[in-house]
Structure 1
Amino acid sequence: MSVFHRSFKPKPIPKECEGLEVKVQSSTCTGERTIGFFDRVTGRLLYSELVRSDDDIEWFYKKYGLKR
């Protein structure tokens, strides 16, 4: 049991990302994966982060308080 307990409060979803879907994209050249909020109109991934494992994907959902 840890002596130091940190409570976690999810970040609010950015205003420009409300209603957008979460998407994982992979680079065809390097295979690098990123996750973020996908805008279908512009085809851009907003607030993208590097994904190294499935734990990173889970953390992204937890970070913004989203259900998978």
Structure 2
Amino acid sequence: MFWKRCARPRLTPPQGLGEKDIATESSICTGETVIGFREPGTGKLLQAVAVRSFEEICDFYRSYGFDPPARQQR
């Protein structure tokens, strides 16, 4: 038997928000970083997901069908 590999469906960003609205926040106390869509009017982070590495940030972008950002040089 041969099994077909199912492609993951793309997630849908919140209404009216796109790639330009993706932002990260880091906690001062714990250092935990979350990524999500920043609502322009309130500054609230929607659909926030905890991330631990640059690869997880790239996965977040890809899950919504956007190109991931380039790694920044330090």
TM-score by length of 1: 0.76
1:30 maps to 2:54 = no
Q: Tell whether the 8 Å contact from 2:19 to 2:66 is kept in structure 1 after alignment.
A: no
- For structure 1, the 5+ residue unaligned runs are none
Aligned structure 1 segments of 4 or more residues deviating by more than 6 angstroms:
none
Amino-acid identity (%): 33
1:57 maps to 2:57 = yes
Q: As a proportion of its length, which structure holds more strand?
A: 1
2:5 counterpart letter in structure 1 = H
In structure 2, what is the Cα distance between the partners aligned to 1:37 and 1:25?
A: 11
Mark the structure with the bigger radius of gyration.
2
User: RCO higher in 1 or 2 (8 Å CA, sep ≥ 6)?
Assistant: 1
TM-score by length of 2: 0.71
- For structure 2, the 5+ residue unaligned runs are 69-74
